[in-house]
Structure 1
Amino acid sequence: MNHSMTATFALVGRILMAWLFIPAGFGKLMGFSGAVGYASAMGLPMPEVGVAVGLLIELVCGIMILIGFMTRPAALLLAFFTLVASFFFHAYWSLPADQAMVQQLMFNKNIAVVGGLLVLAAFGAGTFSVDAKRNRL
């Protein structure tokens, strides 16, 4: 694969990854009380703090990944956040069989997202990023 194609795929991959986290963070911000109610119903300890931390991580790290700034630490933080959130919000193993399928799909999707974030942490943001520009200076 040539350099131009690799750089383009890295940029598109970052945009698509950010597409998941930035709207989720804004959703929590705009519907904070509803998000707190849901987190509380799911058994999250200190739901107000958890939702606030979650929305900050999703927004800030999502934007960092989008522009390719400090991409590796942002990807690692989002990977950890996504993994922890998966166990709280998609615990399909504790549901009756007729309710477990969608939650299992969501859990597995999140595990795949964690994998993608780890790849991003390993290989970085690519050529079309603030990180690459900073490294050239």
Structure 2
Amino acid sequence: MNNSLQDTLALVGRILLAWLFVPAGFGKIAGFSGAVGYATSVGLPLPEVGVAVGLLIELVGGLMLLVGFMTRPAAVLLAFFTLVASFFFHAYWSLPADQAMMQQLMFNKNIAISGGLLAFAAFGAGRWSLDAKRQRV
């Protein structure tokens, strides 16, 4: 695969992953109390703190991923956050069968997202990123 195609795919991949995290972070700003209520309902310890930390990770980490700035640590942090959140918010194994299927799908989706993020952690953001620009300077 040529570098131009790799760089295009890396950019599109970063945009698509950021599409998940950045709006979620803004959503937590706009609906903080609702997010805290939901976090409380699933048993998240210290729900206000958890939502605030999640908001920062999603918003800042998502923006870092989007522009390709410190992509590797941002991707690791987002992957870890996504895995932890999956166990709290998509615990399909503790639900009745009629509710478990959708939550299992969401859990598996988050596992796959974490895999994509870890690929960015392993291989970097590509040449069309602030990381690449910083290396050239």
TM-score by length of 2: 0.99
Q: Distance in 2 between matches of 1:114 and 1:5?
A: 23
Aligned counterpart, 1:44: 44
Q: Deviations over 1:74-131 (max 9, x none)?
A: 0000000000000000000000101100000000000000000000000000010000
Q: Percent identity of the aligned residues?
A: 80
Aligned counterpart, 1:100: 100
Give the aligned CA root-mean-square deviation in angstroms. Answer: 0.4
Aligned counterpart, 2:72: 72
Residue 44 (structure 1) shift: 0.3
Q: Which runs of 4+ in 1 moved over 6 A?
A: none
Structure 2: runs of 5+ lacking an equivalent? none
1:125 aligns with 2:128: no
Give the letter for the 2:102 counterpart: V
Give the letter for the 2:59 counterpart: L
Q: Distance in 1 between matches of 2:96 and 2:41?
A: 17
Structure 1: runs of 5+ lacking an equivalent? none
Secondary structure at the aligned position of 1:44 is classed as coil
The count of aligned residue pairs is 137
Q: Distance in 2 between matches of 1:54 and 1:79?
A: 12
